[in-house]
């Protein structure tokens, strides 16, 4: 059964349009309280730097307090910080106000359970059932209370610093840090400086409207120019809510999530500390799979979405996984995708080996990928179309073992994503266009 409001990462949309308004947000808080803290309890709320965050914070506070829950307001902090602090404050629920890598006119609400993990589909369905009703208000003696926590940022910085290997600091490293004018704008630079790095900040001056705008992991061009210009050793870019990271080597070359997984996996393999398989997604570059296989490292693919990567890691006993976008999981360090902690692990490898990032990623080729989005009049399952499957089989035959074809229906709009990957870029582009044409004709 599908959900009406919850997507792959909470509830998200354009501010001022359904459902991202104050009324819905208060009802959402009330519904979540009835499902997850029905007898009262503690809820922590954090946010990124969007202007609309003040409004949603107040609406959530009202909904939870009216339903009998106590609220701790943590202020602007990365999404993974809220996951961590939910555990540290022994709270029953963690709430994040953020639209991640989207621009400021969007916002969203996402939840963590008391273990710092995202909610299951079952729990989200239960919350949506309660959304059919008005927000509840208990009698005065049963209302919750709210207070601001001024120590939250320091607690999270200390936690990040503690994730470094024993005896390893960042003394001697010059790091350009791009905070996307988002939730990591303070904790990122201060954590890196606390470990001894020489830090040059970019995207660390939020004004409520400039989050992810020309900066951060989705637009790292300024970071790529700045790193070699200031003769830095490395660049780090988070997205607006701090759960994704990409990096830039000393020459200004972008290093994506697949390459960062390769660095972490091979470093742990060399130290004899790698546990279980490395988990990527169906969209992870084939070069990563081949490079890990060459090092005798098991690699598995989950469906797109960090929750599916997490699920496969837990089932297989692995601890390292992630997506090309830089949403990485290092489960022996924290429970959810954390851009800053992931970056620290890579920086630690640089320090321990004495190698620049360019050398650490050199063993992984990145094969050309072409993605074409084909918009359809109605939702289409490409796996159930004989015409499309026949075209895919022909393309896979031409690629042999030197490439892949992935057709995936979007979960949010009537779009089929056609991805072809291989060693020959000309062939890849040609096959992608051919398959997109077949999908378009079939969907007409």
Mean pLDDT by 10 residues, the chain (444 residues): 83 96 98 95 98 98 98 98 97 97 96 93 95 95 97 97 97 98 98 98 98 97 98 98 97 98 98 97 94 97 91 96 96 94 98 98 95 85 90 94 89 84 95 95 83
Q: Are residues 31 and 143 in the same domain?
A: yes
Q: Are residues 77 and 131 in the same domain?
A: yes
Q: Are residues 40 and 114 in the same domain?
A: yes
The overall pTM is greater than 0.75: yes
Q: Are residues 134 and 222 in the same domain?
A: no
User: For residue range 97-142, what is the model confidence (pLDDT) as tens digits?
Assistant: 999 999 999 999 999 999 998 899 999 999 999 999 999 999 999 9
Give me the domain span that covers residue 246: 171-255
Within-domain flag for 215: yes
Question: Which CATH number do you get for residue 249?
Answer: 3.40.120.10
Q: Are residues 135 and 33 in the same domain?
A: yes
Within-domain flag for 158: no
HEC-encoded secondary structure of the chain: CCCCCCECCEEEEECCCCCCCHHHHHHHHHHHHHHHCCCCCEEEEEECCCCCHHHHHHHHHHHHHHCCCEEEEEEECCHHHHHHHHHHCCCCEEEEECCCCCCCCEEEEEEEECCCCECCHHHHHHHHHHCCCCCCCCCHHHCCCEEECCCHHHHHHHHHHHCCCCCCCCCCCEEEEECCCCCCCCHHHHHHHHCCCEEEEECCCCCCCCCCCCCCCCCCHHHHHHHHHCCCCEEEEECCCCCCEEEECCCCCEECHHHHHHHHHHHHHHHCCCCCCEEEECCCCHHHHHHHHHCCCCEEEECCCHHHHHHHHHHHCCCEEECCCCCEEECCCCCCCCHHHHHHHHHHHHHHHCCCHHHHCCCCCCCCEEEEEEECCCCCCHHHCHHHHHHHHHHHHHHHHHEEEEEEECCCCCEEEEEEEECCHHHHHHHHHHHHHHHHHHHC
Within-domain flag for 198: yes
Question: Of 105, 120, 151, which marks where a domain is finished?
Answer: 151
Within-domain flag for 92: yes
Within-domain flag for 343: no
Within-domain flag for 359: no
Q: Are residues 91 and 145 in the same domain?
A: yes
Q: Are residues 175 and 118 in the same domain?
A: no
Within-domain flag for 339: no
Question: Which CATH number do you get for residue 399?
Answer: 3.30.310.50
Residues assigned a catalytic role: 100
Within-domain flag for 141: yes
Q: Are residues 130 and 40 in the same domain?
A: yes
Tally of domains in the chain: 3
Q: Are residues 49 and 85 in the same domain?
A: yes
Question: Of 210, 230, 255, which marks where a domain is finished?
Answer: 255
Q: Are residues 138 and 180 in the same domain?
A: no
């Amino acid at each position: 059964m599908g959900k009406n409001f919850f997507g792959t990462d909470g509830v998200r949309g354009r501010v001022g349009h359904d459902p991202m308004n104050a009324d819905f947000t208060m009802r959402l808080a009330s519904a979540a309280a009835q499902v997850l803290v029905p007898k009262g309890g503690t809820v922590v709320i954090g946010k990124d730097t969007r202007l609309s965050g003040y409004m949603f914070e107040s609406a959530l506070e009202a909904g939870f307090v009216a339903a009998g829950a106590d609220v701790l307001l943590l202020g602007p902090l990365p999404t993974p910080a809220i996951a961590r602090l939910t555990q540290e404050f022994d709270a029953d629920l963690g709430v994040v106000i953020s639209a991640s890598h989207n621009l400021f006119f969007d916002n969203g609400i996402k939840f963590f359970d008391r273990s710092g993990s995202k909610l299951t589909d079952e729990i989200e369905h239960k919350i949506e059932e309660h959304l059919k009703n008005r927000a509840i208000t208990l009698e005065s003696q049963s209302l919750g209370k709210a207070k601001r926590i001024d120590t939250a940022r320091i607690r999270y910085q200390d936690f990040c610093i503690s994730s470094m290997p024993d005896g390893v600091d960042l003394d001697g490293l010059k790091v350009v840090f791009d905070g996307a004018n988002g939730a990591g704008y303070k904790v990122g630079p201060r954590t890196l400086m606390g470990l001894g790095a020489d830090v040059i900040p970019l995207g660390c001056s939020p004004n409520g409207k400039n989050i992810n705008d020309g900066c951060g992991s989705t637009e790292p061009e300024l970071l790529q120019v700045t790193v070699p210009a200031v003769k830095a050793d490395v660049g780090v870019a988070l997205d607006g809510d701090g759960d994704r990271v990409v990096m830039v080597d000393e020459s200004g070359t972008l290093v994506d999530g697949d390459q960062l997984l390769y660095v972490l996996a091979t470093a742990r393999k060399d130290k004899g500390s790698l546990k279980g398989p490395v988990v990527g997604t169906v969209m992870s570059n084939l070069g990563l799979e081949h490079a890990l296989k060459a090092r005798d490292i098991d690699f598995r693919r989950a469906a797109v979405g960090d929750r599916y990567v997490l699920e496969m890691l837990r089932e297989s006993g692995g601890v390292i996984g992630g997506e090309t976008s830089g949403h990485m999981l290092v489960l022996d360090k924290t429970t959810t995708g954390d851009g800053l902690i992931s970056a620290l692990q890579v920086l630690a490898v640089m320090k321990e080996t004495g190698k620049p990032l360019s050398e650490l990623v050199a063993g992984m080729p990145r094969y050309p990928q072409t993605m074409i989005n084909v918009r359809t009049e109605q939702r289409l399952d490409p796996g159930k179309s004989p015409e499309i499957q026949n075209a895919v089989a022909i393309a896979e035959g031409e690629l042999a073992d030197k490439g892949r074809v992935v057709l995936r229906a979007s979960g949010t709009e009537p779009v089929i994503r056609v991805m072809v990957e291989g060693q020959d870029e000309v062939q890849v582009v040609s096959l992608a266009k051919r398959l997109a044409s077949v999908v378009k004709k079939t969907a007409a």
